[in-house]
Each structure stands twice: as structure tokens, then as C-alpha cells.
Structure 1
Amino acid sequence: MRELVQRIEAATPADRDRAVDALRAFAILGVVMGHWLVTALVSDSGTVHASSPLSYLPQLAPISWVFQTLAVFFLVGGQVATKSYDSARARGATYPQWLRARLGRLFRPVVAVLVVWLVAAGAMLASGVGLDTVHTLVKLVLSPLWFLLVFAALTAATPIVSKVHPLWPLAVVLYVDLYRFGFDGAGWTGWINLPAGWLVPYCLGALWARRGAGTSLRTTGWVLLTGGAAATALLVLFAGYPASMVGVPGAAISNLNPPTLAAVTFGLAQCGAALLLLGPLRRVLRRPALWAVVALVNLSAMTIFLWHQTSMMAVTCLGLLAGDALPGLHTVPDGGGWVLARLAWLPVFALMLTVCWLTFRTYEQPGRAATAGASGAGAAASKVVREGRPARVRAVRGA
């Protein structure tokens, strides 16, 4: 392990901003933990259906404030993509070359997930598993992929959207919500906010890449944190927006599907906090061991994201072999007992995710199949940091 840490540290360029990698890792792990905490698979009369503790325990809404971290991911994505595009242009690379490099790693791991679940769904149906159960499981796997498509579109449009000020897409979100909720407008118009809402942090990241530095960045962080938090509080308390920043089954309004003005202002507050954390993160990540953890998470970010729901469902299905419904795994999430039991299951989910990582990580990092174990991961991590290209979710990436 010490050799692995030393190898990653030695391969890291001196000018690499480790805090950016830490923010990306935090965003990915936030999505994973959020899904594991607010997604319940309830076993009832031979079928499995999805539920959420937020439906029964609305006082748990603050959990979503911590683990709904997509805005931070789009912030970092905009910053990194803009710097990457500017650097590619300076080297004389063409736009298609740059785009292939940015999105190339996505397709292999996504295809692997789709193929595995196509086979699994067919096998379950052939063995007599109910259609409702199969639909529930497949939906949980596929539903997080929406945000990868949005991120891919924004990445492809980086040369254009990186020149857009974040206030413009924010204004679009404001007017769409005003039309929808203030004038009883058509519900479908809310989907305009799907690209517009995530353009706000993405464009903010592009602005950071080209203008932000030093004291001005800290000032921007404080303005975003205080302004975004105040706006979100006002929208929740006086404008009828839900307090939960993730979707709640049965709720009349979802802040996430599609994004609402409250989700966007909350995301701005998160982005402000992220900018303020840059300095402390840079200091902490001078420690080689901590930096190695961040580098390895980034190295497998796509694998972690794509397989975390499968890991939870695998544990749930294996638990059914015990016969009785297990608390926190198959029971209705309607009380504090379920929450405590679910917390106890999190290490088991993480262990199953490790198994998935060991099985499918080669699709994200081709060429590692022949080199197993920590030395293989260390070699890949060394290559990534040496080239200055973090192993980020290069999505077509997290609740």
C-alpha cells in the first residue's frame, strides 16, 4: 500500500489542482450515499417495489441537502472541460479529437451495464420473476443515466456554453417556473429546465476556469453560498417548493425531475461552499495517503456510479434468500428503526460495490485486465495523474 501511495504521489504533476479532483470525488460519492439512504426496496407478497423514507419521514429532508451533489459535479465538469478545450486548442487539436478524448471512456462502462442488465432482466423473466419486480429493478439502474446524457450534451457544447454567463440560464429557469407555478402553465415546459438548470453550475465552472482566482474566488464563494441558501429558504418557506432536493414518490412537485428554481439556487449555494473549500482541500491533500484515495476514486468514478445501484439490489435480492424480510433491506421505510437498520447495511452495500468494481473496472480503464490488484490500480492511477487527465466521469456524471 505504501508503494502505491508513493507511486501516485510521484506521478502527480506539481501544478495539479488536487482540490478539483476531491470535489469530483465528493460529488460522485454523495450521489452513491444519497441513493443508498433514500431508496428502499420493499418486499411485499412476492413482488419488490421501490419506496423512500422521505415519503414517511419528511423530517429527513436535510439528508438530501448533503447528498444531492449534482451541482458540484456540473461545476467541476464545466471548469475541467473548459480548461481542457482551451488547452487542446492551444496544442492545435481539433474539436472532434478533443470530444472523442473527453467522452471516449463513457461508452465502454455504460454498454457493460446495459448488456449485463439486459441478460439479467431476461433471466429473471424466464425464471418467473414478476414483471413489476423486474421493472422496478431495471428502472433503478437506468434512471440515474439521465444525468449522464445531460452532461454529455453540455460537454459537447462546451465551446459555446463556456462563453455563456450563468445568469442567462438562471433567468430561463426563473421564467419557466413562474409560468408553470404562477400562471398554471403546461407541465411539459418544466423540462426546459433540464438543460437550463444544469447549465447554471456548468457555466459557473467555465467562468471559474477563465476568470476565477485568489480573493475574487473566495468572494464569489461567499456570495453564492449566502445568496443561494437565502433564496432556497425563501422558496421553500413561502413559495411552496418542497424541502427535499431529491424526488419523493407521491409528491406533487419534485425539485429534481425536472429541476426547479429551488434546486438551482440550492445548487448555487453548494457551488459556493465548494469554492470556499478549495483552499482547505489543497492543504489537506498535500498528504500523499489522502491524495491517493482521491486519485483512486476518480480513477473509477464511472464504475462506482454505474454499479452502485446494482450493488444495493444484489444485496437486497441475496437477502431474500433468508426467508423473512430483513429490517432496513426489505421493510417499509416508515420509522427510525428502518433508518438505523439501513445505516448498518451500508458497509455491506460498499462491499458488494467493491466486488462490482473488481469485476467491471477494466471497462473504464482498458488495459488493466492483465495487471490485477493494487499494483495494477497504481499503475493506471500513475498514468492518469502523470498525463494530467484525471479519471473523471466523462459522461455522455449523481439521486
Structure 2
Amino acid sequence: MGNTVRELADRTPAGRDRYVDLLRVASLGTVVAGHWLMAAVFADGQVGNLLAVLPELQILTWALQVMPVFFFVGGFSHALSYRSLSRRHDAVYSVFVRARLQRLLRPTMVFVLVWGVAALALGGRDGLAGVALRLVAQPLWFIGIYLAMVAFTPLLLKLHERWGWAAFGALALAAAGVDALRFAAEVPYVEFLNFAFVWLAVHQLGFLRADGRIGRPAVLAAGGLAAAAALVAFGPYPLSMVGMPGEKVSNMAPPTLALLAHGMWLVGAVELLRAPGARLVARPRVWRGVVAANGVAMTAFLWHLTAMLGVYGAMLALDLPLPAPASAAWWAQVPLRFAAAAALTALCVAAFRAFERPAGSRPAASPGRFAGPAAALGVTLSLLGVLGLSMVGFGGLLEGRTAVLIAVRISAPAAVVMALAGWLLVETAGRASRARAV
């Protein structure tokens, strides 16, 4: 592994924007650490949220809710990738979708299958096991949103190339309109549209960055921070930029205009740090670490909650002290719990990392006339499947529980079938088009 990482690092093109890779790793790492810290497990095996126990800590989410940075980086990478493929291939859409999603969907489908089998084996459980069957699926919402970003990249990139900042502005206005219909007119289900408008607007900022058009990051940061503060102070939006148990309104699910303003502030902030960040990642040792982390980042993200709950499960099974969340003894345990969760995550990475490596393509007998539509259908099915599973959880495989996804009720078995079918469509459509294009 070390030699491979060194070789990859040494072969890095001189023109590669290494700071973007650093942001990708740092944002996912921050999310993982945040999840580990926020989980408040009680002696009876129930899981709460540290931010609910200590509401005064919710202001920290204005710095630590960094998922917008990951989606911003995604926009930057998708713009470069799509343009590069457009210059070399005719059937670009299906090739682009497969190329961008291969390292995302393969480890995700393995995660779904492993936990699906575990859910069927465990059956209905109470306590921490039952909570785990629901909780470990929640981060899959991120996969679903990222799938949507890939699917809409060609269209939104064209709008960006024609309208620039106005394309971002249109998405932001659409997000504001959705919130107005939601809170002022109380239109049912309209809030789900902001899963698209808010996150695609952040993604659009990545396009602007790819073209060097974020010229005044300080203005973006200050404007976003001021807008977020005003919306929270005078609007119906909560302080926390992550979801809270039992809250009537969440800034995350569905996302709100306040979260978009928060994303603008974060994008401006990381752009202000671009020069020192680039100098840091230019150091060979640091760059090798970034390369190594990027190679397993998705696998680590998928399994980090499994590892954390495994640590708490072991503590309960061994009857080790489990202090009350937010107590002095609880805080003293944090470094030990983090170290144990990191070790278990590393074991999961060692077991499943091979699925994050891009798979080879076997030439197809025919290019397939409908490769593009098949890829679009595949990514749509995968998107709906993983989003549905994130809402229902693996426990729903046996319980028959359903959840409302974009005004439609979906069950866990249906979500798994859609996710798997979509993945297979993406793989086969991209492979056939690639055979024709090469």
C-alpha cells in the first residue's frame, strides 16, 4: 500500500489542484468526527444527540457542518471530468456517469448487502442493535444527493457556461421560493424540492470555481454568514445546521435557504484559505497522506457509524462504565472512544477497500443505442433507492416500515431493489458506451 501511494503521489500531474483533494478528505473527516462526537449512547442502549443534551453547542455546527464543502468540491471535479470526456468520447453521458459513480456505488452496494444480510439475521431487536439497524443507513442520504449532482451535471454545466453566476442565482431563488411556499403558504411536500435546489446551487459554486470565477471569496463568506444569521434570527429556521431529534423544522432534511447561506459562507471561507492550503499539500509527506486517504474515503465514510456503534456495543457487553452524555467522565472518555472507533473503521476499510478501486471494463458486443437513457434511469433508481433506505433503515427489511420520499411511500425492500437495479444499469450502460468510444 505504501509503495502504491508513493507511486501515485509521485505521478501527480503538475497542474492538478491538490487543494481540492485536501478539501475532499478534510470535509469527510470532519463529518466522521462530528458523528462520533454527537452520538450520545445511554446505558439502556438508546442513542441521543449531544447537541440536544447541550443545546449551547449547536452554534459549533456553523463551522463543523462541512458537507457543503464536499458538494462544492464535487462540482469542481465534475466540471473538469465532463469536459475532458466530451473532448474524447461521443457517448459521453453514460461514460461520465459510470466513471464518476463507480467508486461511489460499488462500495455502497456492498455496504447495503452486508447490512441487509445482518438485518435479516438479527431479526427485530431492541436496544443498541435495533438502533444500529436504523442509524447506520442514515448517512446514505449523502450518496443519494451526490448521485443527483452527477446526473444533472451536463445540463447544469451548460447553464453555467451560458449564464455563470446567474445560473447559481436562479437555483438560490428557487430555494427561496420553495421555503416561501413551505412556511408562508404551507404547501405540502414542496419542501422536498430543496433537496435539489439547495444542494445543486452549492454544486454550481464548484463550476464557478473550476472557471476561476469566485473572485471575491471574502464577499461570498461574509454575505453567506450574514444571510444565515439573519434567516435564523428572524425566520423560522433553527440554529443547528444539522438535524436534531424531534425538531419541527430541520435545516438539513429537507435543506433550507439557511443551509444554502451556510454553504456560501463555508465556500468563501475555504477559498480564503486556498493559498496556505495549497502550500501545505505541496509537501510530499502531506500529499501522500491525502492520496492515501482519498483512496479509501468512501469506504471509511460508509462504515464509520458501524464502527462507532460497535465500540458502544462492546462497552455495554463488557459492562464497562458508560457515563452520562456531556458529563465530565463522558468527555474524558472521548479520546479513547475516538481511538477505538478509528481502529474499527480501519478494520472495515481493510476488509472492504477493494470495492472502492475502479473496476475494469470488458468490451461490449454492441455499443447500445439507449446507453444514455439507461444510465439516466440507473442513476435515478439508485438515487431513490439509497435515499429511501436512509429514511427507512435496515430494520425496515423485516418490520414493514415505510417512509415518505418525495410524496411517495417507500419500503426498505423496495429501496434495496431500486438501488441494486440502478447500479447494474449504470455499470452496463457505461461499459457499452465506453466500448464504442474507445
TM-score range, shorter chain: 0.7 to 0.9
Question: 2:340 aligned with 1:348, yes or no?
Answer: yes
Relative to 1, partners in 2 of residues 1:336 and 1:199: Cα closer, same or farther, differing over 3 Å?
farther
Query: Aligned to 1:277, which of 273, 279, 286?
Result: 273
Aligned twin of 2:142? 147
Q: For the residues of structure 2 that align with 1:194 and 1:336, how far apart are their CA atoms?
A: 38
Query: Aligned to 1:98, which of 96, 99, 102?
Result: 96
Query: Aligned to 1:338, which of 322, 330, 333?
Result: 330
Aligned twin of 1:386? none
Alignment check: 8 A CA contact 2:5 2:291 kept:
no
Alignment check: 8 A CA contact 2:5 2:292 kept:
no
Aligned twin of 1:314? 310
Alignment check: 8 A CA contact 1:31 1:68 kept:
yes
Q: How does 1:102-117 map to 2 (within 5 A)?
A: 102-117=100-115
Query: Aligned to 1:157, which of 152, 156, 159?
Result: 152
What's the TM-score once normalised by structure 2's chain length?
0.76
Query: Aligned to 2:173, which of 167, 171, 175?
Result: 171
Aligned twin of 1:292? 288
Q: Identity of aligned pairs, percent?
A: 37
By how many angstroms is 1:261 displaced? 1.1
By how many angstroms is 1:239 displaced? 1.8
Q: For the residues of structure 2 that align with 1:123 and 1:325, how far apart are their CA atoms?
A: 29
Residue type of the alignment partner of 1:270:
L
Q: Which runs of 5+ in 2 are unaligned?
A: 161-166, 360-381, 391-438
Q: What is the DSSP-based 3-state SS (H/G/I as helix, E as strand, rest coil) of the residue aligned with 1:242?
A: coil
By how many angstroms is 1:335 displaced? 4.1
Q: What is the DSSP-based 3-state SS (H/G/I as helix, E as strand, rest coil) of the residue aligned with 2:189?
A: helix
Q: What is the DSSP-based 3-state SS (H/G/I as helix, E as strand, rest coil) of the residue aligned with 2:42?
A: strand
Residue type of the alignment partner of 2:71:
F
By how many angstroms is 1:49 displaced? 2.5
By how many angstroms is 1:308 displaced? 0.6
Higher relative contact order (CA 8 A, sep 6+): 1
Alignment check: 8 A CA contact 1:39 1:51 kept:
yes
Alignment check: 8 A CA contact 2:322 2:330 kept:
no
Relative to 1, partners in 2 of residues 1:177 and 1:113: Cα closer, same or farther, differing over 3 Å?
same
Q: For the residues of structure 1 that align with 2:327 and 2:143, how far apart are their CA atoms?
A: 33
By how many angstroms is 1:268 displaced? 0.7
Aligned twin of 1:118? 116
Question: 2:251 aligned with 1:251, yes or no?
Answer: no
Aligned twin of 2:355? 363
By how many angstroms is 1:152 displaced? 0.7
Aligned twin of 1:41? 41
Q: How does 1:199-214 map to 2 (within 5 A)?
A: 199-209=200-210, 211-212=211-212
By how many angstroms is 1:255 displaced? 0.8
Q: What is the DSSP-based 3-state SS (H/G/I as helix, E as strand, rest coil) of the residue aligned with 1:143?
A: coil
Aligned twin of 1:371? none
Q: For the residues of structure 1 that align with 2:244 and 2:199, how far apart are their CA atoms?
A: 20
Residue type of the alignment partner of 1:26:
A
Question: 2:63 aligned with 1:66, yes or no?
Answer: yes
Q: For the residues of structure 2 that align with 1:114 and 1:205, how far apart are their CA atoms?
A: 29
What's the TM-score once normalised by structure 1's chain length?
0.83
Aligned twin of 2:425? none
By how many angstroms is 1:119 displaced? 2.3
Aligned twin of 2:78? 81
Alignment check: 8 A CA contact 1:39 1:50 kept:
yes
Q: Which runs of 5+ in 1 are unaligned?
A: 368-394
Q: What is the DSSP-based 3-state SS (H/G/I as helix, E as strand, rest coil) of the residue aligned with 2:302?
A: helix
Question: 2:222 aligned with 1:226, yes or no?
Answer: yes
After superposition, what is the alpha-carbon deviation per residue over 1:359-388, rounded to whole angstroms, capped at 9, x for unaligned? 111111268xxxxxxxxxxxxxxxxxxxxx
Alignment check: 8 A CA contact 1:82 1:206 kept:
yes
Q: What is the DSSP-based 3-state SS (H/G/I as helix, E as strand, rest coil) of the residue aligned with 2:46?
A: strand
Residue type of the alignment partner of 1:86:
R
Relative to 1, partners in 2 of residues 1:103 and 1:225: Cα closer, same or farther, differing over 3 Å?
same
Alignment check: 8 A CA contact 2:128 2:313 kept:
no
Q: What is the DSSP-based 3-state SS (H/G/I as helix, E as strand, rest coil) of the residue aligned with 1:247?
A: coil
Alignment check: 8 A CA contact 1:33 1:67 kept:
no
Aligned twin of 2:298? 302
Relative to 1, partners in 2 of residues 1:5 and 1:100: Cα closer, same or farther, differing over 3 Å?
closer
Residue type of the alignment partner of 1:303:
T
Q: For the residues of structure 1 that align with 2:336 and 2:232, how far apart are their CA atoms?
A: 32
Q: What is the DSSP-based 3-state SS (H/G/I as helix, E as strand, rest coil) of the residue aligned with 1:9?
A: helix
After superposition, what is the alpha-carbon deviation per residue over 1:203-225, rounded to whole angstroms, capped at 9, x for unaligned? 1111222x31xxx6341x11210
Q: For the residues of structure 2 that align with 1:78 and 1:200, how far apart are their CA atoms?
A: 10
By how many angstroms is 1:8 displaced? 3.8
Alignment check: 8 A CA contact 1:57 1:335 kept:
no
